[in-house]
Amino acid sequence: MSFVKQFRCTVCNQAIEYKEDTMTCPFCGEKGILDIEYDYEAMKKFVDKNFFKHSDDFSMWRYYPMLPIDKKHASQMLKIGWTPLYHAKRLEKSLGISALYIKDEGVNPSASLKDRASGIAVLKALELGYHTVSCSSTGNAASSLACHAAHMGLKSVIFVPKRAPIGKLNQLLIYGANVISVDGDYKDTFQLSKLAIEHYGWYNRNAAINPNLVEGKKTVALEIAEQLNFNPTDWVCVSVGDGCTIAGVYKGFYDLYQLGLINKIPRLLGIQSTGCSPFVDAYITSKPLKEADENTIADSISVGIPRNPIKAQRAVLESNGAFLAVTDDHILKSMKKLGSKEGIFGEPAGVTALAGLEEALKNGVIKPNESVTIIMTGHGLKDPINAQKAVKAPVLLKPKLEDLKQYMKEKGDKKHA
Ligand SMILES: *Cc1c(COP(=O)(O)O)cnc(C)c1O
Ligand SMILES: [Zn+2]
């Protein structure tokens, strides 16, 4: 069963017949990124609160009637989604806001939100009879694709820029992907993958291009809403690179709104690093998006030419949200703060949402009496080198109790001194 009605081009606005393997608009070419439109009236008869109440599927596939998939192979997949939404009381208090929730996407099988898109890609590739899937990525899209391809018996060919963090690169190799490390930046990497995918006829998991993938990412918003009893927070904060994630978050809330399951769409705060902030620059200057430097430790959002600008800008505009940038230094501090206050270890792009929330509170974009969800998009163990920058090295002592006592005393910890 599928309630997919048609595609609509985000550039020329034409309705286009839904075909499984269509990627972009036939009239606009590569820039013509497509949206999937659903028949909400028909979907409504099937998807209501009762449907969720009786579902025993605690993965992203519990939302299958709202997705462009045939769920035939879904039960054989690794468990993606239905990640915890924590009420972060300690952090909420220290920030002085009325309610704070953290969606922990680091517990997905390959430890990032990207599993939601890769899950769709692998299901589609299986449905359509492909043997090989491919993408270019700064890391997480790749490691998640390699992960789910391995589990479902597909081959993966992955193009990574040579700056990919070691944790992510190791994941790829462990999952048995054919890894092509490209001597260049993300732009060069993307270009080569595009040519190769055309040439070899592999299934394309490049997120902006493939209109099905944002539908996978939207399940994070469906979960946030359901976990809050269809009463989502005033704001949802998420870091932005290509823009597919924030577009997916918006699409999820949009669908629920169309179905009458929520009565407002949360305002979306899109956060970038000051070292790579094309969306923020365009937002502040009200000018078209311009290519930006890729100069941040948050590798997952180090994207100088975003591939999904229209959908991302629309998500912020239509939700009455905002874009803002935070420094890398602030990102590192947030990494330590989230870990030490809540026990959640995020990679730089994952904790960027927390830094963004602090910045938004400081400059009045978000008010203390508003409720907020931050999406922690990826696990900290993926990038041990940057985690090391966020902390001090531990003390080194001789194995003597006297030395320990001395150290504890100096530290001023009265209880143990
Ligand atoms: C990909 C990614 C993002 C940003 O998603 P885009 O679709 O590129 O905007 C944020 N955080 C993490 C951990 C990611 O892997
Ligand atoms: Zn078009």
pLDDT tens digits, 46-69: 999 999 999 999 999 999 999 999
Atom of ligand 1 nearest to the CA of 244: 7
Looking at residue 138, what is its pLDDT?
66
Does some domain include residue 318?
yes
Q: What is the CATH number of the domain that holds 259?
A: 3.40.50.1100
Mean pLDDT (the chain, rounded)? 94
Nearest alpha-carbon partner for 106 in 408, 387, 351, 288: 351
CA of 33 to the centre of ligand 2 (A): 7
Average pLDDT on 402-407 reads 96
Does some domain include residue 254?
yes
**CA atoms of 282 and 58, how far apart (whole Å):** 39
Atom of ligand 1 nearest to the CA of 346: 13
Nearest alpha-carbon partner for 122 in 167, 77, 189: 77
Looking at residue 415, what is its pLDDT?
57
Does some domain include residue 361?
yes
User: Ligand 1: which of 33, 110, 113 to mutate, judged by most atoms within 8 Å of the beta carbon?
Assistant: 113
Residues with a beta carbon under 5 angstroms from ion ligand 2: 9, 11-12, 25, 27-28, 32
Question: Which residue minimizes the CA distance to atom 7 of ligand 1?
Answer: 244
Does some domain include residue 52?
no
Query: What ligand is nearest to the CA atom of residue 316?
Result: 1
Nearest alpha-carbon partner for 251 in 20, 58, 15, 37: 37
Does some domain include residue 290?
yes
Burial string for 68-96 (b: 16+ CB within 10 Å, else e) reads bbeeeebeebbbbbbbebbebeebbeebe
Does some domain include residue 8?
no
Instruction: Give phi and psi for 304, each to the nearest 5.
Output: -70, -35
Full domain range(s) for residue 257? 85-111+213-389
Residue 417 has pLDDT above 50, yes or no: no
CA of 129 to the centre of ligand 1 (A): 28
Does some domain include residue 270?
yes
CA 188 to chain centre: 22
Does some domain include residue 404?
no
**CA atoms of 239 and 354, how far apart (whole Å):** 9
Looking at residue 1, what is its pLDDT?
64
Q: Which residues line ligand 1 (CB under 6 A)?
A: 112, 114, 140, 207, 239-245, 300-301, 347, 349-350, 377-378
CA 137 to chain centre: 13
CA of 107 to the centre of ligand 1 (A): 15
Looking at residue 116, what is its pLDDT?
98
Beta carbons within 10 angstroms of residue 238's beta carbon: 30
Per-residue pLDDT reduced to its tens digit, 292-349: 999 999 999 999 999 899 999 999 999 999 999 999 999 999 999 999 999 999 999 9
Query: What ligand is nearest to the CA atom of residue 8?
Result: 2
Looking at residue 295, what is its pLDDT?
93
Q: Are 215 and 252 in contact (CB under 8 A)?
A: no
How many domains, in total, are found in the chain? 1
